[in-house]
Amino acid sequence: REGENHPDPIVESQSLAGVTPPDVTYKHHLSAEVKAKKLSNAQLETVLYSMMRFNQELPSGERAGFFLGDGAGVGKGRQIAAIIKEFWATGGRRVLWVSTSRDLAYDARRDLDDIGCSNVAVHPKNKDSPPTGNLDKHYKDGVLFITYSLLTVKGKSPAGGGRGRGKKKGRQHSDEDFEAEEPDPFKPAKGPGSRQANRAMSAARKEADRQQRIDSLSAQGSRLNQIKEWLQGPKRKGEDALIIFDECHRAKNLLDANGGCTMTGLAVDILQTLLPKARVLYSSATGASEPQNMMYMRRVGSYGFADMKEMITSLNKSGLGGVEMFAMGLKATGAYLCRTLSYRDAEFRLETIDIDPAFKILYDRSTQFWSLLLSVLRNLPRGENGGRDPRKGLFWAAHQRFYKGLLIAAKVNPCVKF
C-alpha cells in the first residue's frame, strides 16, 4: 500500500472485510501530499476508487458515482478535499459541495488548505448566499458551497400561475361556470370496487404533486436551474463538473413508505438527471441504514434492475441480509468504502453513582408538573370525529424526551470525575 497507515486503527464490518475490491488501475497526482503525510493510505484509497468510478459509465448512460460511508475519525472532509485536488489536477474546475449548514464552509476551506488547495476558491465567502442570476458573472471556477435548503428554492413555473393566491382578484363565477366545471379527478369513489379505485387515485394524486414539485424546482429562476447552468460550464455540457452530496442522508426521503417525497430528495435526484455526465460523490456515515433511504443514489447503479425503485423494492423484501449483500456488492465493484475507528483498547464499565440532592428535588418537582399537565390534557374537550386523540401522542413524546434529558444531565458531573 502507498502511504502511511492511518493515525488511528480503523476497521470494517466483518462482512465488508471479507470482500476484495477491484485492483487499482488509476494513476493519481497526489504523490507530494502522500509523501508529506497529508493523506493516509486509507484516505488515498478513497481517492483512487472514486476516480476509477468516475471514469466508468452506467448502462443508463450516466457517469458512475462513488459512495463514501466512513464513520467519524477517518476524515471524510480531508478525503473530499483530496478528491477535489485530484479532480483539479485532471482539468476539472467547477465543484458543487452540498452540506447541511453554511458554517461547515469554514471546515471545507480548512480541509482544502491542509491538502494544498489554497488556490481553489470557495464560493460564496463568509455566510453569504450565492447571488441570483448568472453565476458565471461572479464565480468563474472553484467550489460552490451551498446547503440542501438552498437547493430547494423554487422558481416561477412557465405556466405562471399557482392557485391564484396573488393580490389580484379573479373574475366572478356564474352558476353556469360552476355547472361547466370538470369534476375533480381525485374525488373519492363510492360503491363496489371503491377501495381499489381510491388507492389508484391516491397514487395519481401523489404523482401529480410530485410532478408539480419537479416543475417548480427546475423552472427558470430556481436555484437548482441556476446551479445546473453554472456546473455546465462555458461548453454547457457539464462533463467537467463534480457534485459532492455531503451528509447525503438528508436526501433519504426521495420516496417514503407512503409514496410521498421531500423537496430535498427531489432536488438531489433532479440535479443528477440534469447533469448525467457530472461526477457524483455521496458521503454519509448513515447513508445505507435502510434500503428506502438509498433511492436518491442513482449513480451507484441498479445492478440488473430496471431502475433504483425496482432494486429498492427487491432489497426491502430481502430484509437486512439483502442490504448487507448489496453493500458487499458495492465494495466489490469499487463503488463503496465504509471504515470506522477501531474500539481496540477501549474500556467499558458500569458505575452506580449517587444522584445529587438538587437533582432529586428537581425530579420530584418535575413529576408534579407533568402530572398536572396530564390532568389538564385529560379534561380538554375531545375532537368531533372521536377516535384517537393526537395530543396524547405529542404529550407522551415530549414527556419521554424531557426525562431522557434530565436523567442524562444528572450523570454528567459524576461521569466527568471518573
Tens of pLDDT along 225-265?
999 999 998 877 778 899 999 999 888 877 655 556 788 98
Q: Residue 214: its pLDDT value, please?
A: 79
Per-residue pLDDT at 318: 83
User: What pLDDT, in 10s, does the model give residues 129-168?
Assistant: 899 999 999 998 999 999 999 999 876 544 444 444 444 4
Q: Which residues pair with 40 in a beta bridge?
A: 4
pLDDT score of 180 more than 60: no
CA distances from 68 to 159, 232, 264 (A): 40, 24, 20
pLDDT the model gives residue 190: 58
| Whether the Cβ atoms of residue 281 and residue 83 lie closer than 8 Å to each other | yes
Please tell me the distance from the alpha carbon of residue 360 to that of residue 358, in angstroms, as a whole number: 5
Grid coordinates standing for 181?
A: 366545471
pLDDT of residue 239: 86
* Statement: residue 415 has pLDDT above 90: no
Closest CA to 291 of 265, 264, 313: 313
Count the neighbouring beta carbons within 10 Å of the beta carbon of residue 306: 8
The reported pLDDT for the residue numbered 167 is 42
Average pLDDT over residues 331-356: 90
Q: Three cell numbers at 79?
A: 478525503
In this prediction, residue 294 carries a pLDDT of 86
Predicted pLDDT of residue 89: 96
pLDDT at 155: 66
pLDDT in the model for residue 322 = 83
pLDDT of residue 350: 87
Tell whether omega for the bond before 188 is within 30 degrees of 0, i.e. cis. no
Check whether 179 has a pLDDT greater than 70.
no
Predicted local confidence at residue 207, as pLDDT: 64
Model confidence at 416, in pLDDT bands (50, 70, 90)? confident
Q: How far apart are CA 119 and CA 224, in angstroms?
A: 26
3-state secondary structure of 157: coil
Least confidently predicted of 123-127, 164-168, 216-220, 325-329: 164-168
Give me the residues paired with residue 68 across strands: 283, 337
The predicted-structure confidence for 196-210, as pLDDT tens digits, reads as follows 666 666 666 666 666
Mean residue pLDDT of the chain comes to 85
**298 burial via Cβ count (<10 Å: 0-12, 13-18, 19+):** buried
What pTM value is reported for the model? Answer: 0.75
Q: CB burial class (10 A; 0-12, 13-18, 19+) of residue 187?
A: exposed
What pLDDT does 130 receive? Answer: 93
Beta bridge partners of 263: none
**DSSP H or E segment with residue 305:** none
If pLDDT is split at 50, 70 and 90, which confidence band does 364 have? Answer: very high
- What residues are paired with 11 via a beta bridge? 340
Q: State the pLDDT confidence band at 271, using cuts at 50, 70 and 90.
A: very high
56-68 pLDDT, tens digit per residue, is 999 999 999 999 9
Query: What span, in angstroms and rounded, lies between the C-alpha atoms of 294 and 243?
Result: 17
